[in-house]
Chain A
Amino acid sequence: MRFQLAGRTLRRHVSRTLLATLGVAVSAAMLLDMVMLATGMRQSFASLLGSNGFTIRVSPRGTLPFDSEATIGQGAEATAAIQRVAGVTAVAPVLGATIHVLGRGEPVTAFALGIDPAVQGDYQLLEGAEPTAPNTIVVSDAFLRAAKAHVGDTLDIAVGFDPQLRTYQGRQRLVISGRARFTYLSAEDRAVALRLATVQAMVGGQRADRVSLFMVRTAPNVDPEVARAAIERALPRVTALSTAGAIAEAERRLSYFRQLAFILGAVSLIVGFLLVSTIITVSVNERVGEIAVMRAIGVSRWHIVQQITIEGVALSLTGAVAGLLLGIVTARYLNSILRGFPGLPDAIDFFLFQPSAAFRALGLLVASGIIAGIYPSWRAASLPISATLREEAVG
């Protein structure tokens, strides 16, 4: 009965109901998008960092991994020192360098990672073999396209150019042993990975035995924060960053998006609440006579409150369901825009649908619809019956 009456009331003003539902749907979509934005970045970045099991990153003191060209000297000694730290199960040294592929028209420039193939976490091999031999490399698809090369090809590669002598430095012939997806790079990045010793030998001079970064794996029963502090004590010239610390740093840098999400999410919730409360209030004001008649024929006050609250819930719920679909579509579109950030790793998504967070947000919107309906319904149900009837009859 209550549901039927509420449904008929909403159908009485179809355009108004549709418009209100649309308004709530847009608010719900916006709220959902902002919740996805606020939680998605953190979740996505945490998944990216945790995907290879490394829990600590070690970079030159005062820097973040690959945030500058700074490197850690005496790499072998530093590797041994980190391995000695209690709880550390694996250490993956990485040296970054720029390489040039020669002999294919214009030199092709790419980012090279010197790694230990036995314990690396920078790429997933898609085809071929690991670069275990000193003269082998694995490369990204973007590199293959730019260099017009294939797995098995031999390339003439150099690491530097001396404009005075007009010569390339650290020149070597390397065989492409495999094709890989690089975890921390975008699909458009031309990247290669080869043995650390090979890169160190190619760069030579000042950068021999230097490392840009160590990735450290810890035992499951060891708190990464404890291991991190122990590494910094063992090697005062480095900064060690746990995954939690790296996420906190990323969040600090991207705090703008989180705050934007919070503000717009709050505004969406308020707009949804105002819309439902306005519609219900106006609807109740129009029907005070009808409500007074219902009360006069014995319909209980609680019944009236329930009927009007159902109207608010119906509006919010319908809007929230429509908003859920609309929100997912707009989130995909907004995510595709932000995925255009240059150099963004493929695995990073700004908008991530997490059912628990999404349904909590939409639940909040429906709850606001209930609250929006309670006050006008209680007011209407509390009107003096005889006075209201007289006023309505006389006009």
Chain B
Amino acid sequence: MRGFLSSTSRLLALCCVPLAAATAQRIDSATVGANAQRTIAIDERLASDAGIRIGDRVVLAPEPGSSAGDTVRVSAIIRRRADPSEVARSEYRVRLHLDHLQRLIGYGDRVDRFAVLTAGGTATDSVLSRINSAAFGFKAYPSREIAVETSKTFLVVSRFHRAIGVITIVASATFLLCIMLLKVDERRRDVAAMRLMGISRSTVVRSVMLESSFVALAGSLFGVALGFAVSAFVNVHYQSVYRTPLRFAIITPSTVAYSVLLSLVLGIGAGALAARRLARTPPLALFGR
């Protein structure tokens, strides 16, 4: 099989050598003999879209239509990790050995960056300061600083989701409050009958509150089940759209606890409000007399 891979991938490839880099997971590979031609690894999307398999030969060129290209063999197919920063990016990725890429694109003995593994703790700070003081023209950054810089997009998305969440909570709280008030209001005749039978106001209020608690609890449990179903659908849908193993919707125990608690508080609160109002109204007035 012949084809070309544009130089679009060159920076990406530079960043991801060797294959054991933490950005991808090897899902299939073949052993290559010592005297075999140069080998590359390609990502699952490219393999699937171009119908490339392990052992296929492809031509790598620094530019489309370039006559200067290398025929290489595909030795591995790799899967991207669940990295949110790659979700909206649809380009293909190719990984090749550093010297091979440098030669192919005429980049000389240059690299874009180094990833340095340290012993951790104070060793990291010491390595950082030694590199920064010794290497004129280089600047070393701790990974956490880079993570903060590159996660700005997700902080924005996260803030947006939180704001949408607040609006949704206000809308659902109003809806819930309204429904609970109506639900209790519907019991006006029952409450009137209970009061005429001599049942005390507090007992009436407690019984109505108990009922509204059950309704709120049943509604919350149904809501949680619906939430799990919807999040499963969202994950399946977006994982297929963006071809990523990333989970888009995650329901945590704290999310469940928060939503159940909120609906219980609103439900019981609305029940208490309506029940107190009913209990204070004269029974005959509740009958409409």
Residues of A at under 8 Å CB distance from B?
A: 15-16, 19-20, 22-23, 26-27, 29-30, 33, 60-63, 67-70, 73, 161-163, 166, 206, 236-237, 252-256, 260, 264, 268, 271, 274-275, 278-279, 282, 285-286, 289, 330, 333-334, 337-338, 340-342, 395
Contacts and interface: CB of A to CB of B under 8 A. Distances in A.
A30 B171 contact: yes
A278 B138 contact: no
A67 B64 CA distance: 16
B217 to A, nearest CB: 20
A164 to B, nearest CB: 9
Contacts of B10: 68-70
Given A256-B238, A334-B160, A26 B171 contact: yes
Interface secondary structure of B, over-half rule: helix
A338 B178 contact: no
B175 A23 contact: yes
A256 B152 CA distance: 18
Interface of B: 6-8, 10-11, 63-65, 88, 90-91, 106, 135-138, 152-153, 155-156, 159-160, 163-164, 167-168, 170-172, 174-175, 177-179, 181-182, 185-186, 189, 238, 241, 287-288
Contacts of A274: 175
A62 B64 contact: yes
A30 B167 contact: yes
21 contacts: A16-B182, A26-B174, A30-B168, A60-B63, A61-B65, A62-B8, A68-B7, A68-B8, A68-B11, A70-B7, A70-B8, A163-B135, A206-B106, A264-B164, A271-B172, A275-B175, A282-B186, A334-B163, A340-B156, A341-B156, A342-B152
B33 to A, nearest CB: 32
A342 B153 contact: yes
Contact of B171 (A15, A27, A236): A27
B171 A330 contact: no
Contacts of B160: 334, 337-338
Contact of B137 (A67, A166, A255): A166
A161 B137 contact: yes
Contacts of B138: 163
A236 B64 contact: yes
Contact of A163 (B137, B152, B179): B137
Given A206-B106, A275-B175, A334-B163, 17 more contacts: A15-B181, A16-B182, A19-B174, A26-B167, A26-B174, A30-B168, A60-B6, A62-B8, A63-B91, A69-B11, A166-B136, A256-B88, A274-B175, A279-B182, A333-B163, A334-B160, A341-B153
A268 B8 contact: no
A51 to B, nearest CB: 24
A44 B157 CA distance: 19
A15 to B, nearest CB: 7
Contacts of B6: 60-63, 70
Given A69-B11, A334-B164, A255 B63 contact: no
Contacts of B189: 395
A60 B7 contact: yes
Contact of A275 (B91, B168, B178): B178
B178 A23 contact: yes
Pick from A23, A206, A255, A330 the residue with the most CB of B within 10 Å: A23
Contacts of B156: 337-338, 340-342
Contacts of B7: 60, 68, 70
Contacts of A330: 163, 167
Contacts of A60: 6-8, 63-64
A342 B156 CA distance: 9
Contacts of B153: 341-342
A236 B65 contact: yes
- CB-CB nearest 6 A-B residue pairs: A163-B137, A61-B64, A62-B6, A23-B174, A26-B171, A253-B88
Contacts of B168: 30, 264
Nearest to B177: A19
